[in-house]
Amino acid sequence: MSEGFAAVDVIRTKRDGGVLSGAQIDWVLDAYTRGAVADEQMAALAMAILLRGMTPGEIARWTAAMIASGERLDLSTVDRPTADKHSTGGVGDKITLPLTPLVAACGAAVPQLSGRGLGHTGGTLDKLESIPGLRTRLTNEEFVGQLRDVGAAICAAGDELAPADRKLYALRDVTGTVESIPLIASSIMSKKIAEGTSALVLDVKVGTGAFMKDLGNARELARTMVDLGNAHGVTTVALLTDMSTPLGLAIGNAVEVAESLEVLAGGGPADVVALTLALAREMLDAAGLSDVDPAAVLSSGQAMDSWRAVVRAQGGDPDAALPVARETEPVRASRDGYVSTVDAWGIGVAAWRLGAGRARKEDPVSFGAGVLLHRRPGDRVRAGDVLYELRTDEPERFPAALAEAEGAVTVTEAPPEQRPLVLERIA
């Protein structure tokens, strides 16, 4: 790599609204990964990008440089078409858990690299680790071997996969630059492209409990990521989905695993089933398996068999009891009527306060903590009916959680209008 650049010149270019050259982008990301560009300099550049934006060409080059900072997995020995899903994160979003084994049971291989929760949004790895014995860190050899043998793996990304992103992500988290669409898109897509999948479906959440509150911003993020994926030879599609209300009835870790098992057993909340099937159809279509009906495979029990195989392959016991919180606190309706709203933000923050989430990446989580909804929008209630219950091992957490959840569930005289779950499709 050329050392012909100074970090301060790259920062000034973007600060003043200029377009970074490909050589500048390649240099600054390589130098930052190696430690030759300091955190404070990259923080200044990230803020300049947040404020000034990036052209499509800059975003494409930035993403390519992040991929080039590490290794790219080779899935050519996997004898099935590969398809993955990425969600931008939400409340009660356990879709990866039933979706991954379902798509594997339909004939695709699913290389599902997942993350941990932060703040009010849950993380797939935290949910999985509530299963006794289950490992979420696999070597590359274990990962590829499991894709060949079982058809799916749900685990953490390896340290050598887009290391520039891991370093930059941590910096953005503490410098107020998380919200930049170019940086979000390149962060997500550099890891997904580097993992080697041939097809990718993006679930971009919109609403109070989502990272993107605004439909226009969500659409821009989805369009940017779809274009990046297709430019790198990954067939990429995005669904914009509603996250104003939590998905399903369970918000937490073990409680979401339990709800996922209900879906795999042929039951579960209607919205979780509907989104699982919608994403499965998109993944199968992108992988060239559009003749397979995921609803039929789900009802046949094959997806549950696939789930059990994944859990066993990663050292977990699919028959082990899941952790259950020791303390519960019900919250009841004060009047008759219909549940009008269940605000995903308030419920998500309450679950975090109960111990289900973390404020910093290194914080532990409580596997049994969380919120169980007893009613969803449109349900009729009478005064005294339980609207939701809080769960934790530490009862001193209840007051803060109750304060966050206050007003999240509203009851009105008339039933609310039904909101669509899938808002748009972007391909």
363 noted as active-site residue:
no
232 noted as active-site residue:
no
374 noted as active-site residue:
no
Cβ-based burial of 384 (10 A; exposed 0-12, middle 13-18, buried ≥19):
exposed
DSSP state at residue 161:
S
Strand order, beta sheet including 235-242: 83-87, 199-206, 235-242, 422-426
Which of 61, 85, 86, 374 does the annotation list as catalytic?
Answer: 86
Look up residue 223 and give its two tokens.
């369009």
165 noted as active-site residue:
yes
- Listed in order, strand segments (DSSP E) in 2-129 are 83-87, 110-114
Long-range contacts formed by 357-365: CB under 8 A, 24+ apart: 357/117, 357/118, 357/119, 357/120, 357/121, 357/122, 358/116, 358/117, 358/118, 358/119, 359/118, 359/119, 361/116, 361/118, 361/170, 361/173, 365/117, 365/126, 365/253
What distance in Å separates the CA atoms of residue 216 and residue 94, rounded to the nearest whole number?
25
Which of 94, 172, 192, 281 does the annotation list as catalytic?
Answer: 172
Which of 85, 120, 191, 308 does the annotation list as catalytic?
Answer: 191
127 noted as active-site residue:
no
Cβ-based burial of 12 (10 A; exposed 0-12, middle 13-18, buried ≥19):
middle
What distance in Å separates the CA atoms of residue 24 and residue 29, rounded to the nearest whole number?
9
Which of 26, 93, 126, 165 does the annotation list as catalytic?
Answer: 165
**Residue 180: other Cβ atoms inside 10 A:** 21
Beta bridge partners of 241: 205, 422
Catalytic site residues? 86, 165, 172, 187, 191
